[in-house]
């Protein structure tokens, strides 16, 4: 394994992670809700007592615009054509709802709750994520 | 108040995604690429988020109600079943393919990036498709 020291943003990523943890903490302590994005989006149109989900998503959508008031937006590298994002989006939507969570619900909130179920989910999606990038970059992409 | 705190949590969550590098698909794939030049940044994101989250959820677990007197809706499921494992495996494949998960998808869509818009629309379709299949 070769570490990419040039792109390794130790402090920035740690601080950004802490902000994500802070947001999840706020949502559970004030609203009593878990900050799992796939769950929030998947149930966005379930109208019973779901207004907080709209508020959260609106906040998330406003975040890059507010961020820009303080600092330049970071680079976002989208390196492929749209068909790949179509397939990936479908898979992410289907998989995250079937598996009851994604990186935020299982990876951040679930692990913070010390849930074994979320640990299992996180290990599985990290595993298939690693394998997918290996296959795409080193076996097919070359 | 509940809507305000949820919106504020959304904004802070988005700031975290942007600052940490999670909203950059190239960087996410750099983390998932163990065999290439590996960028460990995402491990730091997880450490930072969980370090803070452990405190928050540690407190939340001992409360029946939130600070705004709302019910504490912590997930009750504990079983590790085929649905959880299949769904997570699929999710990981999609995440690896594009380097985007749902939160960063929404944030980059709001930045007006066309591929992110395609991703989010497809993701919503995938979520509805599952609902349709399960009926």
Q: What are phi and psi of A41, to 5 degrees?
A: -70, -40
Of the pLDDT bands very low, low, confident and very high (cuts 50, 70, 90), residue A142 is low
Radius of gyration of chain B (CA): 17
Closest to B23 measured CA to CA, from A77, A62, A72: A77
In this predicted model, what pLDDT tens digit does every residue of B13-59 receive, in sequence order? 999 999 999 999 999 999 999 999 999 999 999 999 999 999 999 99
Q: What is the pLDDT of residue A45?
A: 80
3-state secondary structure string across B1-58? CHHHHHHHHHHHHHHHHHHHCCCCHHHHHHHHCCCCEECCHHHHHHHHHHHHHHHHHH
Contact residues, chain A, for B122 at CB < 8 Å = 85-90, 93
In this predicted model, what pLDDT tens digit does every residue of A29-70 receive, in sequence order? 999 999 999 999 999 987 777 899 999 999 999 999 999 999
Q: Which of A4, A56, A93 lies closest to B9 in CB terms?
A: A56
Q: What is the mean pLDDT of chain B?
A: 96
- Is A134 near chain B, with CB under 8 Å? yes
Q: What is the pLDDT of residue A114?
A: 96
What's the whole-model pTM score?
0.96
Answer whether B48 sits within 8 Å of A17, measured CB to CB.
yes
Q: What are phi and psi of B41, to 5 degrees?
A: -50, -45
Q: What is the pLDDT of residue A11?
A: 96
- Is A45 near chain B, with CB under 8 Å? no
Q: Which of A23, A56, A92 lies closest to B94 in CB terms?
A: A92
**At CA B30, angle to CA A118 and CA B125, rounded to 5?**
55
Of the pLDDT bands very low, low, confident and very high (cuts 50, 70, 90), residue A90 is very high
Smallest CA–CA distance, residue B85 to chain A, in Å, is 6
Distance CA B88, CA B23 (A): 20
Kindly write down the DSSP assignment for every residue of A85-107, as one continuous string.
HHHHHHHHHHHHHHTT--IIIII
Distance CA A76, CA A32 (A): 32
Smallest CA–CA distance, residue B87 to chain A, in Å, is 4
Q: What is the mean pLDDT of chain A?
A: 95
Is there a contact between B7 and A59 (Cβ–Cβ < 8 Å)?
Answer: yes
Answer whether A51 sits within 8 Å of B50, measured CB to CB.
no
- Is A25 near chain B, with CB under 8 Å? yes
How many other C-beta atoms can be found within 10 angstroms of the C-beta atom of residue A74? 20
Answer whether B23 sits within 8 Å of A130, measured CB to CB.
no
Average pLDDT over residues B102-108: 98
Smallest CA–CA distance, residue B30 to chain A, in Å, is 8
Smallest CA–CA distance, residue A27 to chain B, in Å, is 6
Kindly write down the DSSP assignment for every residue of B101-128, as one continuous string.
-HHHHHHHHHTT-HHHHHHHHHHHHHHH
Is there a contact between B82 and A52 (Cβ–Cβ < 8 Å)?
Answer: no
């Amino acid at each position: 394994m070769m570490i990419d020291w040039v792109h390794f943003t130790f402090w920035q990523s740690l601080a950004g992670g802490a902000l994500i943890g802070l947001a999840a903490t706020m949502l559970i302590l004030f609203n009593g809700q878990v900050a799992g994005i796939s769950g929030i989006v998947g149930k966005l149109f379930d109208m019973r007592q779901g207004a907080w989900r709209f508020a959260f998503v609106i906040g998330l959508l406003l975040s890059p615009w507010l961020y820009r008031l303080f600092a330049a937006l970071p680079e976002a590298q989208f390196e492929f054509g749209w068909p790949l994002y179509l397939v990936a989006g479908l898979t992410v939507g289907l998989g995250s709802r079937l598996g009851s969570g994604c990186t935020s619900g299982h990876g951040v909130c679930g692990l913070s709750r010390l849930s074994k179920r979320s640990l299992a989910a996180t290990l599985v999606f990290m595993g298939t994520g690693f394998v997918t990038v290996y296959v795409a970059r080193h076996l097919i992409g070359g | 108040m509940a809507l305000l705190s949820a919106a504020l949590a959304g904004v802070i969550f988005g700031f975290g995604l942007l600052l940490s590098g999670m909203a950059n698909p190239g960087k996410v794939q750099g983390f998932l690429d163990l065999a290439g030049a590996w960028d460990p940044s995402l491990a730091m994101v997880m450490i930072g988020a969980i370090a803070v989250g452990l405190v928050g959820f540690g407190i939340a677990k001992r409360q029946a109600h939130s600070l705004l007197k709302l019910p504490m809706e912590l997930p009750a499921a504990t079983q590790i079943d085929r649905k959880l494992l299949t769904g997570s495996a699929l999710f990981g494949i999609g995440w690896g393919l594009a380097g985007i998960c749902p939160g960063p998808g929404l944030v980059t869509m709001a930045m007006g990036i066309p591929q992110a818009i395609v991703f989010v629309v497809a993701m919503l379709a995938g979520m509805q498709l599952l609902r349709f299949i399960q009926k």
